[in-house]
Structure 1
């Protein structure tokens, strides 16, 4: 029998952040991942403390950034990779009214550190932005695809990864421990994203799931080194390539890219990008979204050694290290979980 402190199911952003807590505290662990969930892979990876649709603060943005960025910087150093790219984000204004709303928001104490009061005029002929841009401060992009690929390789090299499906019906819950095949573990953390719907222990949590589709385009004439948020995001990723996203579909629960998704993204993109481009990649995934827009973290109501780490929604790169730290401290240090993220808030509801 192999003895570990933790079994982790899933290897997306939430799982990686939790693994980092385990590594920092010298815990023995094994990760199961069958690559069935793609929400982390299709994530744009932006860390941005402002909700740009309505100019309001992201929930606990300051706390999240203070925890998240050192985690990614340590991963860069340990794995000798580059994943954290400081990136200017510009919000395209559609009218004078939007400009005024921006400046009103910049006076609010929680938003003042993040919203520049300098109006940026457009000088790029490939962009239609007659009302200019507002700049969001303290922003960047985590290359989630490189992060996940490199981290899986790192786990594999150190005998921490099993690239196979976790069979929930093979888990034996014993007094004080868990057994799965030839492993004994003290705890198991399910970080399966939308895959939790197939988990018999946590399929009661109200994870809705929202499909997102993302394009990669090649646009040699666009020549921007900043991200633009308009009706869609346009994010430079190098070599004249740009990520364009994203769609929000609450009905389709498949990872299959669709022509409808392409049409929606292109229709919105062409309202402000005026140069030629070609589509070079198209992906889709199900984001683990929750109706109250808060993560789903906590302990099974009956089995004390079973935990869930889920519901990161559309801002996984910011939220993952924050909730991973909260769950670790809950398990290891008996620190109470905030009621806003604790799954207990949904227990007993119909």
Structure 2
């Protein structure tokens, strides 16, 4: 029998960050993960954007989350001997005059993030920008595959990772501990993305899963030191590059609340390739096409903390499209709660659903 403090289910962004913080606080834990190659964490763009949406609103907690993420990814990278985060800027090619006017209107209010690039003539040689360009900075870009794979290797080295599918029917709960197969732990925390919707403990939470698709493109002579946006986003894909000759870009994504299949679709590929062709004045070819279901929530706020009626059962989930910035912050909050009973921000704490989760 293996004895540990916390059993974590899932090694996506949420599970990786919670286990990282537990390791920093010298807390005992084990992670179970089935090792899916194309999970929502692994095919995400890796972008942390301080300004979001068509109305160009400041992202929730941007002034806290961006510096926190920069420090957290940098420190974790240093410990693992990798560089998995960089600061960059987003060049926003306005798709319409209305979007340009919206940007100009928000410019004085969000001057710490928004500006007008001075080198617009240069960018006109690379892309169609009939309504001009805006700049969003600082943004952060995470090399998610490097980040997740490096932490996976560290967990394997420390024999803290079990690679297999978790079977909830084999979980036993008592007042003193939880038991799963040959593991006995003080508590269990589910960081398993959309699978959390199927758990009897958390099936009543207001999940709102949505589908995202993305392409991997090879684009000739497009500078890879920026993120580009015009309806879709083109994001440097450092997993295949990492030098000045980088020419691979993640292209996407969709946000579909209603979908017929979780597989990649021809319609998305054709639509995205046409959009890039009409925008970028450089040859490109499509290398890969991905799709995954994000564990989003109706409120667009995470689920973090321990079940109000089952105190040994926890969750860190519901990050949606903001997992790169939310997972480090709320992973630490849950780890501190485990360590010393710290508090979790009420907007994310599942205590806000106490009545919903009543037996």
Q: What is residue 3 of structure 1 aligned with on the other side? A: 3
Determine if contact 2:205/2:356 at 8 Å carries over to the other structure. no
Please say if residues 232 and 246 of structure 1, whose CA atoms lie closer than 8 Å, have aligned partners that are also in contact. yes
Query: Residue 195 of structure 1 corresponds to which residue in structure 2?
Result: 195
- 1:264 deviates by 2.6
Give CA deviations for 1:309-331 in whole Å, capped at 9, x if unaligned: 00101011111111112222333
Encode CA deviations 1:51-91: one digit per residue, 9 max, x unaligned. Answer: 15221100001111232222211221111122112222111
State the distance in 1 between where 2:10 and 2:262 align. Answer: 16
Query: Distance between the aligned counterparts of 1:119 and 1:294, measured in 2?
Result: 37
Contact 2:295/2:319, CA 8 A, preserved across alignment:
yes
Aligned to 1:42: 43
The alignment partner of 2:320 has SS state of: coil
User: Which residue matches 2:65?
Assistant: 64
> Is the 8 Å Cα contact of residues 210 and 249 (structure 1) preserved in structure 2?
yes
Could you say which residue in structure 2 is the equivalent of 1:265?
A: 272
- Quick one: distance in 1 between partners of 2:80 and 2:305? 30
- Residues 42-51 or 223-232, more deviating: 223-232
Check whether the contact 2:11–2:33 (CA below 8 A) recurs between aligned residues: yes
Distance in 1, matches of 2:68 and 2:224, equals: 29
- Can you give the 5+ residue segments of structure 2 that lack an aligned partner in the other structure? none
CA contact (8 A) 2:170 2:180 kept: yes
Runs of 4+ in 1 over 6 A off after TM superposition: none
Q: Does 1:306 align with 2:313?
A: yes
Q: Which residue of 1 aligns with 2:112?
A: 113
User: 1:209, 1:253 within 8 Å by CA — same for their partners in 2?
Assistant: no
1:173 to 1:290, Cα distance in 2 relative to 1, 3 A:
same
Choose the corresponding residue for 2:325, options 303, 307, 318. Answer: 318
Paired residue for 2:24?
24
Alignment of 1:93-104 (within 5 A): 93-104=94-105
* Structure-to-structure mapping, 1:1-350, within 5 angstroms: 1-36=1-36, 38-108=39-109, 111-118=110-117, 120-124=119-123, 125-237=125-237, 238=241, 239-252=246-259, 254-348=261-355
Q: 1:253, CA displacement in angstroms?
A: 7.0
Distance 2:15 2:277 in 1: 37
Q: What TM-score results when the alignment is normalised by the length of structure 2?
A: 0.91
Cα RMSD of the aligned pairs, angstroms, is 2.0
Where 2:75 maps in the other structure, the secondary structure is helix
Shift in Å, 1:118 = 4.8
Identify unmatched segments of 5+ residues in structure 1: none
Kept after mapping to 2: 8 A contact 1:194/1:287: yes
Q: Shift of the alpha carbon at 1:20?
A: 1.4
Instruction: Kindly state the Cα deviation for residue 206 of structure 1 after the two structures are TM-superposed.
Output: 1.7
Alpha-carbon distance in structure 2 between the residues aligned to 1:262 and 1:95: 23
Separation (CA, whole Å) in 2 of partners of 1:222 and 1:67: 30
SS in 2 for 1:87: strand
TM-score, normalised by the number of residues in structure 1: 0.93
Kept in 1, the 8 Å contact 2:27–2:339? The answer is no
Cα 1:271/1:257, change in 2 over 3 Å: same
Change in 2 beyond 3 A, CA 1:278/1:179: same
Instruction: Indicate the larger mover: 9-18 or 146-155.
Output: 146-155
In 2, Cα distance between equivalents of 1:122 and 1:192:
46
Contact 1:115–1:137 (8 Å) recurs in 2: yes
1:28-51 Cα distance to aligned partner (Å, 9 max, x none)? 111000034711011100111111
3-state SS in 2 of match to 1:194 = helix
